[in-house]
Amino acid sequence: MKLLGGDSATQSAHRDAPTVFRFRAKVADVDLAQAKIRFEAVSKSNNKMSDAVEITLPVQPPTIVRKESVAGSFTGPQFDAHRVMPEEWRHGRGKFSTTISTSPWLPKIAGLPVILEYPHGCFEQISTKLLGYSLLANLLAYMPDLQGRDAEYRATLERGLKQYADSLLSNGMLPYWPGGDAGNGFVTCQALWSVNESINAGFEAPAELQEKLSGAVGKILKGQAGASRFEKCFALFVLTQSGSDDDFRNESQELYLHRNEGSDEDRALLALALHRQNIMAREQQQLLREIDTPIKERAFNPATFTSMTRAEAMRAFAFNAISPPTWTKQKKQEARDRMAKLMDSAGSLSTQENLWLLLAFKSMLGAEMAPALHATQPPGVLSKNGRAAAWLDRKIDNELVIKGLNQGALAFLMRAEYSTSEADTDRVDRGFRIERVVKNLTDAKRVGTSDAPLKLGDQLLITYRVNTRKLQNFVALEDALPAGLEVVNPNLALVGKFFQLPPADPQDRLLGLSYSEMRDRSALLYFDIVDPGSSTYSVLARATAAGAFRWPATQVAPMYDSRFSGLSPSSICVVSSE
């Protein structure tokens, strides 16, 4: 950040009186380093009386930050990161991390850090993070960069357990979103599974959480909570994983007799539950024969979170766990190759798809005898098992040539967070069209351009118009607000009580907000249902800082279906202090 008009500014202030400092500055640092602003106060009557304070301001890129990864194999003993780096990265600005391993499976477990870093705050993703951390510890040993963040992950997951306890409903069920009032059967079952596994991994759960969740999941299994066939099978699977002495033989037989009413995922979970109880061996074999068919295409189901990829992973997991006579060495190898191929696109898969693919892959991996990685120059951060090393947070435009690696075949995984040099973003429609409309409720003539800038304190109604051709579920909308604006209230109904809102377009439907998160950089709005056609939602914002700011594109995408997304055009927002 560079001050316009000199490197320092001086202003007089009176004792015990608040003083506002105004100065013009411009961000010109392409590396987006944090800006430090130092204030020094010196007494006019005695220049030896002085004090100083320094504050740090983050500087964010004026465009959407992209998070991407690439992986592959190469032959040691040298690795040149820039030779395998995608062209788009080299022309962007940001940082990247490189991991190299003697295990050929390193690129396939890229979904593990993806699971642990999913951004949304719903209980499905919180429970998936807990399961990923607890059940996949042996895979974590290959990830040096994750080990350095182990304390951070554990703190996040412990907060998740507390959120469970805080949001638990009177009947022991959990809602999909924190603070919700409607229990979700799938989320409740997976939450209990994650609590059980977290306790086994050394976490301390809040008092009575495990007991209350177990009671609710037991009611789901017994059909006392209006549960679907899938939720009953999932409940049985979860309850049999805990190793308790409870007898679920009657419920197991009942679900088996009505198996034709369920899906391939129901049968896979039921077979796993029977196997865990060591009962009904012939019925286990029959269930596996019935799902040993090509996986059928299916749309995402918001009640069960199913997808074609998850169904394929569940089936492979069941076959490998039970290992029927038909599960030959050739079939097992074919399934492992198939899981590995699906895992190549971990960054675009949902939490459920990544979790079950990793569970299936881990079950088929077995004991691996990969050699230790040699010491290198420059040295990297070594993994817990010594089979991998990472070079973290390197600037994209800095070279990274690693020497002294093992001779022979090695695997690499590179991840980057970067923004392009193009500050202007065009609209992108991939099954969604998103428009952003701003109305100044204080003075409609001030529209935020250089000719008609906003003024400090202006109240703004930001409306997002979303258009889709098909029903979408669990949709996330993210708007990286310019630094001069902040969201005052995302609750549109409450805003309407205090402001005269413009009449809605009769062709538009009002979206029902399910959850919201207001972060330093962005506003996140979540909608469990977005019907076909045009829908809108608005938030109230306020102009809080003067200047000319870039407003990056608004993004919209379903949380569980990466085939669809949309971007609005980026824009400029000008705020005047006068």
Domain ranges of the chain: 2-57, 69-102+373-423, 103-365, 428-576
163-184 mean pLDDT? 95
Q: Strand, coil or helix: what is 550?
A: strand
Neighbours of 17 (CB within 10 A): 6
143-152 mean pLDDT? 77
Q: Which pLDDT band holds residue 186 (cuts at 50, 70, 90)?
A: very high
Q: Strand, coil or helix: what is 382?
A: strand
The pTM of this model reads: 0.84
Tallying the residues shown for the chain, one arrives at: 578
Q: Read off the pLDDT of residues 490-527 as tens digits, 9 standing for 90 and up.
A: 777 777 777 666 777 777 799 999 999 887 678 899 99
Q: Which pLDDT band holds residue 147 (cuts at 50, 70, 90)?
A: low
39-67 mean pLDDT? 81
pLDDT at 30 over 70: no
pLDDT at 241 over 70: yes
Q: What is the pLDDT of residue 340?
A: 84
Contact 71, 107 (CB under 8 A): yes
pLDDT at 133 over 80: yes
Rounded Cα distance between 543 and 546, Å, is: 8
What tokens appear for 57 in the block?
Answer: 């301001």
Residue bearing the bigger pLDDT, 456 or 4: 456
Phi-psi region of 520 (alpha: psi -120 to 50; beta: other; left: phi over 0): alpha
Q: What is the pLDDT of residue 451?
A: 95
Q: What is the pLDDT of residue 165?
A: 96
Rounded Cα distance between 194 and 355, Å, is: 12
Torsion on CA atoms 431, 427, 347, 231, rounded to nearest 10: -30
| Least confident stretch, 296-310, 366-380, 559-573 | 366-380
Residue bearing the bigger pLDDT, 71 or 171: 171
Percent of the chain at pLDDT above 90? 59
Helices of type H across 50-102:
81-84, 87-90
pLDDT at 458 over 80: yes
What tokens appear for 454 in the block?
Answer: 């906003």
Q: What is the pLDDT of residue 528?
A: 96
Q: What is the pLDDT of residue 31?
A: 63
* CATH code for the domain defined by 428-576: 2.60.40.690
191-206 mean pLDDT? 94
Percent of the chain at pLDDT above 70? 97
172-185 mean pLDDT? 95
Q: What is the pLDDT of residue 167?
A: 96
Q: Which pLDDT band holds residue 218 (cuts at 50, 70, 90)?
A: very high
pLDDT at 13 over 90: no
Residue bearing the bigger pLDDT, 468 or 66: 468
| Least confident stretch, 79-93, 373-387, 418-432, 519-533 | 418-432
Residue bearing the bigger pLDDT, 523 or 21: 523
**Type of residue found at 510:** L
Contact 92, 66 (CB under 8 A): yes
Q: What is the pLDDT of residue 308?
A: 92
Bridge partners for 25 per DSSP: 3
Bridge partners for 574 per DSSP: 548
Q: Which pLDDT band holds residue 189 (cuts at 50, 70, 90)?
A: very high
Neighbours of 484 (CB within 10 A): 23
Q: What is the pLDDT of residue 511?
A: 94
Name the percent of the chain in helix, strand, coil, to the closest 5.
Answer: 35, 25, 40
57-83 mean pLDDT? 85
pLDDT at 3 over 80: no
Which has the closest alpha carbon to 558: 482, 466, 486?
466
Contact 315, 270 (CB under 8 A): no
Q: What is the pLDDT of residue 208?
A: 95
Q: What is the pLDDT of residue 500?
A: 67
> Helix 351-365 vs helix 308-322: angle between axes, to the nearest 10 degrees?
20
pLDDT at 391 over 80: yes
Rounded Cα distance between 305 and 442, Å, is: 44
Q: What is the pLDDT of residue 17?
A: 78
Q: Does domain 103-365 have CATH number 1.50.10.20?
A: yes
pLDDT at 482 over 80: yes
pLDDT at 24 over 80: no
Contact 513, 492 (CB under 8 A): yes
Handedness of CA 154, 156, 158, 161 (dihedral sign): negative
- Mean pLDDT, all residues of the chain: 89
DSSP state of 190: H
* Residue where the block lists tokens 């191929």: 341
Handedness of CA 389, 366, 239, 201 (dihedral sign): negative
> Which residues 6+ apart lie within 8 Å of 280 measured at CB?
252, 253, 256, 274
Q: Strand, coil or helix: what is 133?
A: helix
pLDDT at 478 over 90: yes
Helices of type H across 344-433:
351-365
